[in-house]
Chains A and B, each alone.
Chain A
Amino acid sequence: MQIEDPQFWRAGAISIVVVMMIVLVMLTIDSLKAIDAGGSHVPLYSVINQKIGYKFDAARGIDVPTIGEKEPLFGREYSDQDAADLIGKGKLVIQSRACIDCHTFFGNGAYYGPDLTKAWLDPAWKVWTAITGGDTQEEAMVRFLMDPVRYRTWTRTMPNLHLSRDEAVAVVAYLKWLSAVDTNGFPANFGRMSTSR
């Protein structure tokens, strides 16, 4: 086959596609193990029963989530199954209200509202706990989600999406679980820097 012959390039194209697909499938098999709940990068859903943090790991050179002592959510400890059900419900709420068309998750979505990857860990909840009168952060988050127009954050107000209390609880649990996912250091320096300083 000559280089001027289209068949030469056709053979090249087929070979490249096949090789790349094989490599992608192999990497996918490995990645699916890592991103399964309980895998190396994604925690079990029952992680919502524990304290989550985010700090710099000198060995990896990036910020990583930390999972600490027990920290019940809404004053209770969820079994593995209950936690999985709650997270499943939270995901459906997030989809049904098209949250990703205003916010980002792991930086993916729309950019009108803030990124929610580490929203559970946001220092702003300390202020909103006082504003909403909630006795815990999770209670403050529920009150905010159920009536965001009342607890306005700034000029770009989140609309009232008519979440029931159960739906708001599920979303809060989802955000806590999400903050424990190892995202290879994204976002960098979260909670350790401030634009007001």
Chain B
Amino acid sequence: MYRSQQLAVKYLTAAIALFGVMTIAGLMSAYYYINPNFLFGLLDFNISKILHIDTLIIWLLMGFMGAIYWFLPEEFGIEIAGIRAAELLFYIFCAVVAVVAAVFIFVQYGGSDALGMWLVNQGRKYVEAPRWAAIGVVIVMLVFAYNVIGTAIRAKKMTGIMAVLIIDLVPLIILYLNAFAAYRNMSEDLYWWWWLVHLWVEGTWEVLIGCIMALALMSLLGTSRRIVETWLYIEVALVMGTGILGLGHHYFWIGTPQYWLAVGGFFSAFEPLPLLGMVVHAVYDAGTHRMKTTNRPAFFWIMAEAFGNFIGAGVWGFMITLPQINLYAHGTQWTVSHGHFAFWGAYACGVIGVCYLVLGKVRGATMLDGITWRWAFATLNIGLIGMAGALLISGFAQAFIERALGGSTLEAFIAGQESPSFVAGMYARFAFGLLFAAGYVLLVYDFVTLGRRVPARVAEAVAS
């Protein structure tokens, strides 16, 4: 195994650990809606929410990096360039994440000045981490970019997937620089902040996971490079063709000109197309190989990624993306429902799939299968779909009562939050959250034991 692949295992392990932290913080955030006195004055909702969404971003980012560090030496046939720096930065990255989490939990708020932004909390959604930590993230990403580009130069080789990845790293890093901004004007702040959030999540990240899935499909199913690269180019064309101006669906109500309603609505309506393409691609590949694979959990999680991405990001996103609907659905639990389903389908399932793929290679299993992964797969997916459904019910109630009937005042907000449908949705979300957490425990148990626990089954499966 290459040193880069050993580093990949560390990154994927750290990612799964942070996935657990995200789940706990998510359960806490859900519980505040049921019991508002929970940890009141000690650790309030906003801190729990920050922990939930920031660990979401970091665990997925670590998962992507782990996946690339795994495939990179296989793609180029050599050890990666700058491996020592990458190894060192992994520990620094983990330390930075731990320190920032401790600052959020124990310090929580800084002063309303530049020092507070640099040392404690920047208070901008998803990029709350203080600036010193944001510098750390930039350094990690720069070294990561050097690892990829330097390896291609050293190998004197370039593949289509790697070319897409390298080009994708440029906006990935540049857009993150918005994490340092502090605009006085909220409209300008949100305008550029959406460049970071939307063009990361609905642009560069989609391309990144597209590259990872292309590499995973070649490794898992032996799909030809020609096919995966063709699909990758089609995906890039559709993701960017719809997603760049699809950015406009975030510019409906932030003080921007009215033409964004038409631009954002039109292009966003087509955003499910590339995600549908991925489903077609996945089904095509699976059908070609008659669903036969030596790593069933990886195969199923990658299939879940394709379908989850389409339904969670595509269909759920389409529901609220037209301005006539968004006027009432915007800023409600309806959006939260979409957010949960989209992040899960588009990215989390893919990272878990890569974890299983790597696990199969690390454990040297010729056939990876079992019972536990199926239970983990079922409970995590049912838990997530249940949460998305529950949040959707609450979101419908909120959109109807708070936005449409009440005109979004404080009185209307409270009426919406206290409506029976909203409250029932919050209880159901928490219950499905517990199921999801149980699925996480099963997943970790499976990661630790799979390939070690069932040698007889493995041999039997191989023989058959």
Contacts and interface: CB of A to CB of B under 8 A. Distances in A.
Interface of A: 4, 6, 9-10, 12-13, 16-17, 20-21, 23-24, 27-28, 30-32, 34-37, 40-42, 45, 60, 84, 87-89, 91-102, 104-112, 114-115, 117-119, 122-124, 149, 153-157, 159-162, 167, 170, 178, 181-196
Given A93-B112, A102-B46, A122-B410, A111 B330 contact: no
A21 B185 contact: no
A193 B405 contact: yes
B188 A123 contact: no
Nearest to A108: B190
Interface in B396-428: 398, 401, 403-417
15 contacts: A9-B237, A16-B241, A27-B263, A40-B257, A60-B258, A88-B184, A91-B182, A91-B189, A96-B117, A106-B190, A117-B408, A183-B253, A183-B255, A194-B407, A194-B411
A186 to B, nearest CB: 4
A60 B332 CA distance: 25
Given A13-B237, A40-B257, A92 B408 contact: no
A141 to B, nearest CB: 12
B110 interface: yes
Contacts of A182: 255
| Interface SS, B side | helix
Contact of A192 (B189, B190, B327, B407): B407
Given A95-B122, A106-B254, A154-B414, A17 B331 contact: no
Nearest to A19: B241
A1 to B, nearest CB: 12
A84 B41 contact: no
Nearest to A118: B408
Interface residues of B, number: 86
Nearest to B251: A31
A178 B124 contact: no
Contacts of A119: 410
A110 B117 CA distance: 20
A118 B417 CA distance: 19
A35 B405 contact: no
B317 to A, nearest CB: 16
B55 interface: no
Contacts of B398: 111
A128 to B, nearest CB: 9
B191 A24 contact: no
Given A24-B245, A154-B414, A159 B405 contact: no
B256 interface: yes
Given A20-B245, A115-B413, A6 B255 contact: no
Interface string B216-255: 0000000000100110011011001100110100111111
Contact of A34 (B230, B256, B415): B256
A32 B256 CA distance: 8
Contact of B187 (A20, A21, A123, A181): A181
B186 interface: yes
Residue from B109, B247, B412 with most neighbouring chain A CB atoms (10 Å): B412
A26 to B, nearest CB: 11
A36 B185 contact: yes
